[in-house]
Amino acid sequence: MMDEHENDTVFLIDDDPSVRDSLTLLLSLKGIRTQPFATAESFIETYRPEWHGCVLTDLRMPGMTGLELQAALRERRIEVPVVVLTAHGDVATARAALKNGAFDFLEKPIDDAMLLDVLRNALRVDRERRGAVAARAATDRRLERLTQREREILALVAAGHQNREIAAQLGISSRTVEVHKARIMEKLECHSLAELLQVNRAH
């Protein structure tokens, strides 16, 4: 795998040791890092916010089931793609898993190629989500640099108002508006109006 993906991990949750071993071997041979858990409870208890990847969980297990794990993740606001794997699949259970936000629902015995494809997609989705979260956080940090007046002017610029209109609305000169806009561009590290508007929309 590429360096940027080296921390991506499939968190494998299954009470059957043979399933954990065989899936761990399969995924490791394909260059996918795994971290096995015998119970959903143990995953929840040891989960760390900095972990990257997706969950591959059995549906029916002693204690917390795969569906209950989904609910527990939602309750704790843990956003991670969940792939549910089961030998007891039926339409109703599949619908429940997907309705609860499962990334996918696969029945045992699962085709290796299909499983790998689903897991790689789930890992990609998690990378994209984390990238979007990081980008929003960076934008928020830049926006925090703005003064109240600069925020007002940014809002008016984003609404499509020209300098003259902004000046009239705020009771300042057009030149002052230009100075504020230049400072806004500098603080937000923008080089064009289009980029400025994009940053504002991202917020």
Burial class (CB in 10 A: 0-12, 13-18, 19+), 184: buried
pLDDT at 2: 41
Are 168 and 135 members of one domain?
Answer: no
Are 22 and 95 members of one domain?
Answer: yes
Are 15 and 103 members of one domain?
Answer: yes
pLDDT at 25: 95
DSSP string, 83-127: EEEESS--HHHHHHHHHTT-SEEEESSPPHHHHHHHHHHHHHHHH
Residue after which a domain boundary falls, among 139, 174, 193: 139
Residue after which a domain boundary falls, among 93, 124, 139: 139
Q: How many domains does the chain have?
A: 2
Q: Which tokens belong to 156?
A: 């008016």
Are 120 and 172 members of one domain?
Answer: no
**Identity of residue 175:** R
pLDDT at 5: 61
pLDDT band at 37 (very low <50, low <70, confident <90, very high): very high
Which residues form the domain of 98? 3-139
Q: The domain spanning residue 187 has which CATH number?
A: 1.10.10.10
Are 99 and 191 members of one domain?
Answer: no
Q: The domain spanning residue 26 has which CATH number?
A: 3.40.50.2300
pLDDT over threshold 60, residue 109: yes
pLDDT band at 81 (very low <50, low <70, confident <90, very high): very high
Angle 103-108-111 from CA coordinates, rounded to 5°: 80
